[in-house]
Amino acid sequence: MTDKRVEFYDTTMRDGAQSIWAMRMTYGAMDAISSELDEGGYSCIELPVNAMNAKMQVRFFQENPWEIARLFKRKITRTKKTQVIMDCLDLLGESDPRAIIREYYRKTAEATGCKRMFYMANTRNELDRYFPWVVPMVREMGLEFQPCICYYPSPRTTDEYYANLTKRIVEQYKPEALWLKDAGGLLSLDRIRTLLPAIQKEAKGTHIDLHTHGMSTYQGLVVVEAMKLGVNGVHTCVPPLASGSSHISIFNAMHNAKVLGLKHNITNADALKVVEEKLNRIAKIEGLPVGVPLEYDHGVYSHQIPGGVISNLRSQLEQLKIGHKLDEVLDEVVRIIDDLGNPIMITPASQFIVSQAAVNVATGERYKEVLDAMIETALGVWGWEDAGVPWMKPEIKDRFLSHPNAKKLKERYERRQAVAAEEGSVAKLRASYGMTNASDDDFWLFHIMRGDTETKKIRSPKSYYTGKEPLTLLLTELSKDRDISRLQLRKGNTYFDFRQE
């Protein structure tokens, strides 16, 4: 064993749940595993706390996402750092001035106790549009800021492109760490061997994490090669929310680090085995899938759908009763990527493109119905170079910009730009909702959900009993069910008799 070391980070509850369970992870599931995750020894645990996750918790589970945030603060106390993802800022609200965004993330940091935030660096020209004020905002809160260098294969994204991007980020913003983020799981063994050294050279000693999904099936090889090349950290998940389109299993990553003679930070693998056992029980109870290694599919290099999006696409196609047309939708995604000039397939472009592909397949005609997001893409709302706009097919761009909604969307975008450039006032926004005296929880839920129709349905969260809970807890819960009059527990010659009238 050498002195060389790799740090393992956990993203089970955030990206693991997004990739395998289509974000269908309840408060109860997070409650069941948070303490044991905290005991594992991770350097950092990623939390599923942002506006996108909040909408899911309210809409699908009628749960209060702020209670989830506070749950993490109570239960994750040993892990040195926790982190949350910053949403695409114009996805938080229809159009938010900076004071609103600043206060929302301050509330998020306070509720969770998180120590860092991460944000994409090259999906929508963020370095020009957002970094000049977002980075100081995060640092004013006393948080670390970790930009994500997002990988995607295209004729434009050479090693030189990524080296120049890294140089600019490091020189201008001096981040505490960088991510090489491979949302589509598209890194190959050959590419990591040239790409990572190019980034490391310009990073000048800045800590670099590898965040890669399993879509191409090269994930294990890529992680091993990255560890050989001296990557500082690797993002992992605990099974059954590892593998598949998710991240590498922590147990596999630990094994390969040992084979390479590397030290790591995991000190309590037994606690993580308990997490695995609990998650498997919950998956069985709820009929949720488990992550398994995928067979090689060369198509992932064509459709490039990220690991966190493919699970949601399958789920939504089933809801639309066209799950059997998944292959048609994937083929259509490839065509749309070409139409749009090879944009980076990551939030939000990936969601827009798969949605338009599903519409095209469902209607039986390409662009018979055009989503507003496609028109906004052509307008440059969602970025420029990395969004593919300069390389969009002229006839497609003209079709989008001549749509009846184009003028309205352009005017709305211009208004949004003006508002986003303003400082704004949280007090004025509260007053406009008639919520001057409302609690912070109620105000932010109203703002995120655009009203209280859905938030009025919030209820107490469901709990899971996975066999590890104390007997007193079991008896307390049983006493709530008046249909159970008697229960006998027996082990050998010892038995316990529980009765209620």
Model pLDDT for residues 171-220, shown as the tens digit of each residue: 999 999 999 999 999 999 999 999 999 999 999 999 999 999 998 899 99
Mean pLDDT of 132-160: 93
- Domain 5-286, what fold? TIM Barrel (3.20.20)
84-98, 401-415, 446-460: range with lowest mean pLDDT? 84-98
Position 420 scores a pLDDT of 79
Position 470 scores a pLDDT of 63
Tell me the CA distances in angstroms from 161 to 125, 172, 305, one per residue in order.
Answer: 14, 17, 22
Per-residue pLDDT at 301 exceeds 70: yes
More confident residue, 94 or 422: 422
Amino acid identity at 102: R
Dihedral of the CA atoms 405, 409, 411, 412 (nearest 10)? 140
Position 346 scores a pLDDT of 86
Position 472 scores a pLDDT of 62
How many angstroms separate the CA atoms of 267 and 270, rounded? 9
Tell me the CA distances in angstroms from 358 to 172, 183, 268, 333, 460, one per residue in order.
Answer: 40, 21, 44, 9, 35
Position 481 scores a pLDDT of 64
Burial zone of 491 (CB within 10 Å; 0-12 exposed, 13-18 middle, 19+ buried):
exposed
Which residues make Cβ contacts (< 8 Å) with residue 60, sequence separation at least 6?
Answer: 24
Position 129 scores a pLDDT of 85
Split at pLDDT 50, 70, 90, the class of 471 is low
Per-residue pLDDT at 91 exceeds 60: no
Mean pLDDT of 264-273: 98
CB 49 within 8 A of CB 108: yes
Each residue's pLDDT tens digit, 334-379 = 999 999 999 989 888 999 999 999 999 999 999 999 999 999 999 9
Exposure pattern of 203-215 as b/e (b: 16+ CB <10 Å)?
A: beebebbbbbbbb
136-150, 301-315, 398-412: range with lowest mean pLDDT? 301-315
**Which residue from 145, 222, 136 is spatially nearest to 176, judged by alpha carbons?**
145
Mean pLDDT of 93-98: 73
Per-residue pLDDT at 321 exceeds 70: yes
Position 416 scores a pLDDT of 83
Per-residue pLDDT at 88 exceeds 80: no
Residue tagged 């890194």 (tokens): 187
Per-residue pLDDT at 108 exceeds 60: yes
Each residue's pLDDT tens digit, 249-262 = 999 999 999 999 99
More confident residue, 107 or 463: 107
Domain boundaries, the chain: 5-286, 320-420, 471-501
CB 177 within 8 A of CB 209: yes
Name the strand (E) or helix (H) holding 299: none
Split at pLDDT 50, 70, 90, the class of 497 is confident
CB 11 within 8 A of CB 233: no
Per-residue pLDDT at 248 exceeds 60: yes
If one counts every other C-beta atom within 10 angstroms of the C-beta of residue 440, the result is 14
Per-residue pLDDT at 72 exceeds 90: yes
**Which residue from 359, 355, 346 is spatially nearest to 373, judged by alpha carbons?**
355
Each residue's pLDDT tens digit, 2-43 = 679 999 999 999 999 999 998 999 999 999 999 999 999 999
SS percent in the chain: helix, strand, coil, step 5: 50, 10, 35
> Is residue 317 helix, strand or coil?
helix
Position 448 scores a pLDDT of 92
CB-based contacts of 376-381 (< 8 A; 24+ apart in sequence): 376/409, 376/413, 377/340, 377/343, 377/349, 377/352, 379/406, 379/409, 379/410, 379/413, 381/409, 381/413
Position 2 scores a pLDDT of 63
Mean per-residue pLDDT of the chain: 91
Tell me the CA distances in angstroms from 385 to 10, 123, 135, 247, 467, one per residue in order.
Answer: 32, 9, 22, 28, 52
**CA angle (404 as vertex; 389, 372 as ends), nearest 5:** 50
Position 308 scores a pLDDT of 73
Percent of the chain past pLDDT 70, that is, above it, reads 94
**pTM (global) more than 0.75:** yes
Residue 145, both tokens: 């800021």
Position 488 scores a pLDDT of 76
Mean pLDDT of 319-324: 87
Amino acid identity at 16: G
